[in-house]
């Protein structure tokens, strides 16, 4: 191999190593999701994830957020409707969402350098 080809090979190899190292992981953790719950526990969350819950009018969704670092944004939205809940840079805490009408609700969570956990768990309404 001549010197020019060797330099090109080395430069391309270094570039590939550099680009791979800069990408970093987008998610490291666990995730559980079905039509009644959406639970994530993560040491790295640098992406967007979502889950659809099938909810009835009067259902209560318990939301728990643990934000150890980074930023978490949340949107809860019924298909084709305005957001029922929207929060940016959510801090550690708990709250409940009361569902105003039956349907499929998409929960979207966006993380930026986040570490912690989040859970959305459906409770059946007391009137059902």
**What single-letter DSSP state applies at residue 79?**
T
For residues 38-43, average pLDDT = 96
Domain-wise residue ranges, the chain: 27-123
Q: For the segment 44-57, what is each residue's pLDDT rounded down to a tens digit?
A: 999 999 999 999 99
User: 27-123 belongs to which CATH class?
Assistant: mainly beta
Three-state DSSP class for 91? coil
Report if pTM > 0.85. no
Q: For the segment 91-116, what is each residue's pLDDT rounded down to a tens digit?
A: 999 999 999 999 999 999 999 999 99
Q: Which of 18-27, 30-39, 62-71 bottoms out in mean pLDDT, i.e. has the lowest?
A: 18-27
> Which residues, 6+ apart, have CB-to-CB distance to 54 below 8 Å?
35, 36, 103, 104
């Amino acid at each position: 191999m001549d010197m020019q080809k060797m330099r090109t090979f080395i430069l391309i190899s270094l570039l590939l190593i550099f680009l791979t190292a800069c990408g970093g992981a987008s998610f490291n953790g666990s995730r559980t999701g079905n039509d009644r719950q959406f639970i994530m526990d993560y040491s790295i969350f640098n992406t967007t994830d979502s889950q659809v819950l099938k909810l009835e009018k009067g259902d209560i969704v318990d939301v728990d957020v643990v934000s150890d670092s980074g930023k978490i944004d949340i949107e809860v939205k019924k298909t084709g409707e305005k957001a029922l809940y929207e929060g940016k840079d959510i801090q550690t805490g708990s709250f409940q969402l009361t569902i105003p009408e039956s349907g499929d609700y998409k929960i979207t969570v966006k993380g930026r350098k986040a570490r912690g956990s989040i859970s959305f768990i459906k409770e059946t309404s007391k009137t059902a």
